[in-house]
Amino acid sequence: MLPLSFSEFLSFHDFKIKETETVLRGMHRQAIDKYGERYELREVFDAYMRFGGVPGIADVGLEQEKAMILPDGIYSTVVMRDILERENRRGLKRITDPILLRKIILFLADNIGNSVSVSSIGNTLVNEGLLEEGKRKGSPSAHTVQAYVNALSEAYFFYDIKRFDIKGKEYLRTLGKYYIVDIGLRNYLLGFRDRDSGHALENVVYFELLRRGYDVAIGKIDNMEVDFIATKMDDKLYVQVTASTHYGNAFKSEWIKYRGY
């Protein structure tokens, strides 16, 4: 079960899409809410990128103060409490440090779309002084960090994606990436910011491909990278996600698909 796609987000928030012909015989699409107010489709997509696809937000509306109550509840109960309690019920006692768990969550959320080595996470947290609350004398072991990351993956809070060597036609074991299950949860954790909007868009595209039934990997050709290789049955897509600025502060983003075998 995944959060809402953008199409579902429009439906849950009672937006209808209206197409009109432009003077140059192109098509212009706008979103119309239940009160008849018209919005540019990009405005509504920006709201989706800000608040994410938690279905319950449709009940409270797209006001930031109200909308952020739901991610807070999800984080407090589903992520922190449930992960800690589940490990205790299993009798494994691998996940016992809520401070370390939170710091790893923040680290992964801050690094969506970046290549991540689990073995380096603990050292990075210590070197940047992010574990001082725990008053640790050393960094957590790679084994400990891996257990915490595995618990977050098992809870479907983060999804890991492997690298695929297109030439060698095999999966690589090193430097995968992580994506957070809902971009609104990331904004709740880190605050709203535009500096890494490209990676945020990658996150949304990754889950859109999953919704469409694709198996998804990162493509690697020598030193170059394809954002996603998406495969199902006899269909294969090579997907590159781009974000660029045009016309001053107007932000444009897109994802480009190439079919291949």
Q: Does the structure show a pLDDT above 80 at 217? A: yes
- Same structural domain for residues 76 and 49? no
Tell me which H or E stretch contains 259: strand 251-259
Residue 109 — pLDDT band, cuts 50, 70, 90? very high
Does residue 214 or residue 144 have the better pLDDT?
A: 214
Cα 189 from Cα 221, distance rounded (Å): 34
Q: Which of 31, 60, 89 is the last residue of a domain?
A: 60
pLDDT score, position 213: 92
Q: Which of 3-12, 47-56, 115-124, 152-161 is the least confident region?
A: 115-124
Q: Which of 75-89, 164-178, 184-198 is the least confident region?
A: 164-178
Ramachandran bin of 244, using left for φ above 0, alpha for ψ from -120 to 50, beta for the remaining angles? beta
Residue 99 — pLDDT band, cuts 50, 70, 90? confident
Token pair for residue 99?
A: 């401070």
- Same structural domain for residues 35 and 155? no
Give the residue ranges of DSSP H helices in 78-229.
Answer: 82-90, 98-110, 118-127, 142-154, 183-190, 197-211
Map residue 182 onto helix, strand or coil: coil
pLDDT score, position 69: 84
Average pLDDT over residues 143-169: 80
| Number of structural domains in the chain | 2
* Average pLDDT of the residues of the chain: 81
Token pair for residue 167?
A: 């030439």
- Same structural domain for residues 72 and 20? no
Domain housing 133: 68-259
Q: Which of 60, 80, 110 is the last residue of a domain?
A: 60
Give the DSSP letter of residue 247: S
- Same structural domain for residues 175 and 142? yes
Residue 63 — pLDDT band, cuts 50, 70, 90? confident
